[in-house]
């Protein structure tokens, strides 16, 4: 692992132009990580662009550099740095651009990572990709500016569920403390993310909560967001950030499922589970991936069939897990 850190640091020193990218439907870890590395590279005098298939959710537009993220680009760079994406197809159309770059750096913490980079820095024990970006900055001898520290802190908040999820380690907390020492205000970052929801976003949440169904003997809860809900509330898909945690929060529910209908008729599925029920295999079976307790995929079909298929697959995985536990 130390060799990968050194190799990336050396490549950054030797190269002039960069593209930074992350996965579709970006969350706080993806956004915070890519904005932090963008700012660091810019300060080092590099030519760097952040490219994304999807725009940044309004929740994260307070981060410095958020307005620099672009959703179209045709010219590749010397180096592509992809953060928080387990596979290249997870970054959407940007993958075609990345493949044209001379070198690809893969920085991630998903166990399902495909090791698609010329340099792969995959630290599965990290609480967030942002934690790896912090460690890379230390390897490079770069003292973080307050805006970079805040972006990484937001990455940690996002992927650890405000330091509540099982991926929170003592190392994660030490990084968080170092970021506060570097100028981060936890109150500011937290209030920007959690206390500035729009009226339309809250109305969307209300409609989504009303759709919750608990099945599989009380172990699975599904929640839907349809195009009609977006139209009726005036909310945008970007305002559904964090909704996936609500179904899992129900007592005795082991797996929470958020299903969001896209404009083109597909469905984006977010899966959240408790620590004793790994969910990443379910996502992978539909071409997605993620962490043991937080994963996602895309699915086609009508909404009721998608829900039924997911419930059946979750039940099947539960039986497999029980059988494995029962085996001597």
Cα dihedral: 152, 156, 158, 161 (round 10): -160
Q: Mean pLDDT per segment of 10 residues, for the chain of length 328 residues?
A: 94 97 94 98 97 91 95 95 94 96 97 94 96 97 97 96 92 98 95 90 96 96 97 92 92 95 93 88 88 89 95 86 56
CATH of domain 2-194: 3.90.1640.10
- Supply 213's token pair: 């169904």
Q: With the C-alpha atoms ordered 208, 209, 212, 217, is the resulting torsion angle positive or negative? A: positive
Cα–Cα distance measured from residue 73 to residue 94, given in angstroms and rounded to the nearest whole number: 8
The 3 state secondary structure assigned to 46-100 is CEEEEECCCCCCHHHCCCCCHHHCECCCCCCCCEEEEECCCCHHHHCCHHHHHHC
Burial of 160 (0-12, 13-18, 19+ CB in 10 A): buried
The CB density around residue 209, as the number of other CB atoms within 10 Å, is 12
pLDDT of residue 327: 54
pLDDT of residue 5: 96
Q: At the top level of CATH, which class does the domain 199-326 belong to?
A: alpha beta
Per-domain residue ranges for the chain? 2-194, 199-326
The alpha carbons of the chain give a radius of gyration, in whole angstroms, of 19
Cα–Cα distance measured from residue 21 to residue 34, given in angstroms and rounded to the nearest whole number: 7
pTM score, two decimals?
0.85
- Supply 252's token pair: 């005795």
Instruction: Give 216's DSSP letter.
Output: T
pLDDT of residue 324: 55
Longest Cα separation, the chain: 59
Cα–Cα distance measured from residue 22 to residue 239, given in angstroms and rounded to the nearest whole number: 19
Long-range contact set of residues 234-237: C-beta below 8 Å, sequence gap at least 24: 234/200, 234/203, 235/198, 235/200, 235/201, 235/203, 235/204, 236/58, 236/200, 237/262
pLDDT of residue 320: 66
- Supply 229's token pair: 């809900």
Q: How far apart are the first and last CA of the chain?
A: 35
Cα–Cα distance measured from residue 297 to residue 270, given in angstroms and rounded to the nearest whole number: 7
Cα–Cα distance measured from residue 263 to residue 5, given in angstroms and rounded to the nearest whole number: 40
Cα–Cα distance measured from residue 234 to residue 264, given in angstroms and rounded to the nearest whole number: 18
């Amino acid at each position: 692992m130390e060799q990968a850190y050194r190799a990336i640091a050396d490549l950054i020193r030797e190269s002039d132009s960069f593209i930074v990218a992350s996965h579709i439907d970006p969350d706080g870890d993806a956004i915070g990580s890519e904005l932090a590395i963008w700012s660091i590279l810019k300060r080092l005098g590099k030519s760097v662009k952040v490219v994304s298939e999807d725009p940044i959710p309004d929740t994260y537009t307070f981060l410095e550099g958020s307005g620099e993220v672009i959703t179209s680009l045709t010219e590749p760079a010397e180096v592509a740095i992809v953060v928080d994406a387990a596979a290249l197809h997870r970054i959407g159309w940007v993958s075609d651009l990345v493949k044209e770059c001379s070198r690809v750096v893969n920085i991630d913490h998903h166990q399902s990572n495909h090791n698609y980079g010329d340099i792969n820095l995959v630290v599965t024990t990290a609480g967030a990709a942002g934690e790896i970006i912090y460690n890379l900055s230390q390897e490079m001898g770069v003292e973080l500016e307050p805006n970079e520290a805040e972006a990484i802190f937001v990455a940690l908040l996002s992927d650890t569920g405000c330091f509540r999820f099982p991926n929170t380690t003592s190392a994660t907390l030490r990084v968080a403390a170092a970021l506060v020492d570097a100028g981060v205000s936890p109150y500011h970052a937290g209030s920007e993310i959690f206390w500035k929801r729009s009226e339309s976003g809250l109305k969307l949440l209300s409609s989504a909560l009303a759709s919750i169904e608990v099945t599989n003997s009380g172990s699975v809860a599904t929640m839907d967001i349809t195009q009609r809900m977006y139209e009726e509330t005036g909310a945008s898909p970007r305002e559904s950030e964090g909704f996936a945690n609500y179904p899992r929060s129900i007592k005795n529910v082991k797996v929470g499922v958020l299903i969001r209908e896209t404009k083109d008729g597909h469905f984006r599925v977010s899966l959240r589970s408790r620590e004793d029920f790994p969910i990443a295999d379910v996502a992978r079976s539909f071409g997605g991936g993620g962490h043991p307790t937080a994963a996602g995929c895309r699915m086609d079909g009508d909404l009721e069939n998608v829900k039924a298929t997911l419930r059946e697959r979750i039940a099947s995985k539960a039986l497999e897990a029980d059988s494995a536990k029962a085996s001597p």
